[in-house]
Amino acid sequence: MADLKPGGRLPLLFFGMLSLLGGVMAGLARLGWEVPASAMQAAGVHGPLMIAAFFGTVISLERAVAAGRNWAYLAPLAAGASGIVLLAGAPLLVGQILGSLGALGLIAASAVALRRQVAAFTVVLTLAAGCWLVGNLLWLVTGDVSAAVPWWLLFLVLTIAGERLELTRFLPTPPLAQKLFICIAGVLLVSAVAASYPLFSIGLLALALWLLRYDIARRNIATEGLTRFIAACLLSGYAWLLAAGLLGMAGAFVPGHPWRDAALHAIGLGFVFSMVFGHAPIIFPAVTRIRIPYHPALYLPLALLHLTLVLRVFGSLAGNFDLRHNAALLNGLVLIVFIATIVTLVRRNKPRGAR
């Protein structure tokens, strides 16, 4: 079957960006910031907007491009539509069903890669897609977002880890490394099934240490240009994953814990968005065929991301709501700085005379 042209992919990416914008503002609404009414009413679905709608759209769009099948684009379409539905204030069930359909589509697209090559990383990526579906179904059945959060986090964590595992094939990695990875992934999955936050935290700690030890970023940090920037994003993200695991060992993932915000955003902002910043110059051109040239200015939003997140985490740990409140706004502004930086670099790279 023919693949969807790059021009047809842009609306899907736009839907995902709407979920990102709405999710950020919904998160600010939860902390008392004045936001538009549509975002205010979506304050209770901040997590679904960010994880299921935004990341679900982006990850399934990337997987659809890799699968090269028109039907695979139904997954990002459903995920993006779920975000729009949630922001529009439509019945919650509609958004939940659309998100679940998106997850099913991602599983199908992942199965294409699995059929092409049965390997540890393709299995992990398929399991990650399954975690997204389980989280969506738990939310649909129970109506409790907290029940879905560990599964949604595993969707993101295992997707990233699976992609990094794939790259270890190009390194002289000892056979023990892959066995350790499989054990760690198993621990994380068992922790979600058992709803064990301590075991979940141990799994995150072990995964962070594995990535810091075996990922190619350790070598690439000594290079230059875009390769070094990506390595800096990855290594700093792994440090945040380690921090999330440590916070979790102190009980921070338990709903209602005063440090829960710090633990969740150490993963969601520190780990996941560090990966987004690092991979955007590669993934965005692969999806849209629009090149993002490297420039040292890319380090600015990365540095601001870590600085503002440190302030937010410190505010949570110290019980300083005002600091956490203001740092959350700065977190959102950092994402705008990153998008503005990308747009500026793309415009600067545009051939003269092009419209």
Angle of helix 92-116 relative to helix 120-142, nearest 10 degrees, comes to: 170
What are the tens digits of pLDDT across the range 72-114? Answer: 999 999 999 999 999 998 999 999 999 999 999 999 999 998 9
Total domains in the chain come to 3
In a domain, residue 104? The reply is: yes
In a domain, residue 311? The reply is: yes
Q: Which amino acid is at 302?
A: L
Sign of the dihedral defined by the CA atoms of residues 172, 173, 174, 175, in that order: negative
Residue range 235-261: average pLDDT?
96
The yes-or-no verdict on residue 139 having pLDDT over 90 is yes
Percent of the chain residues past pLDDT 70, beyond the cut: 98
Q: Say if residue 322 is in the same domain as residue 273.
A: yes
Q: Say if residue 198 is in the same domain as residue 79.
A: no
Residue range 7-34: average pLDDT?
91
What is the rounded (10 degree) CA torsion for 128, 129, 131, 134?
Answer: -170
- 154: containing domain: 119-214
In a domain, residue 355? The reply is: no
Output the pLDDT for position 69. 87
Distance from C-alpha of 91 to C-alpha of 45, rounded to nearest angstrom: 12
The whole model's pTM is what? 0.93
Mean pLDDT of the chain: 92
Residue range 290-306: average pLDDT?
94
Distance from C-alpha of 98 to C-alpha of 191, rounded to nearest angstrom: 27
**Coil, strand, or helix at residue 258?**
coil
In a domain, residue 176? The reply is: yes
Q: Say if residue 207 is in the same domain as residue 286.
A: no
Percent of the chain residues past pLDDT 90, beyond the cut: 78
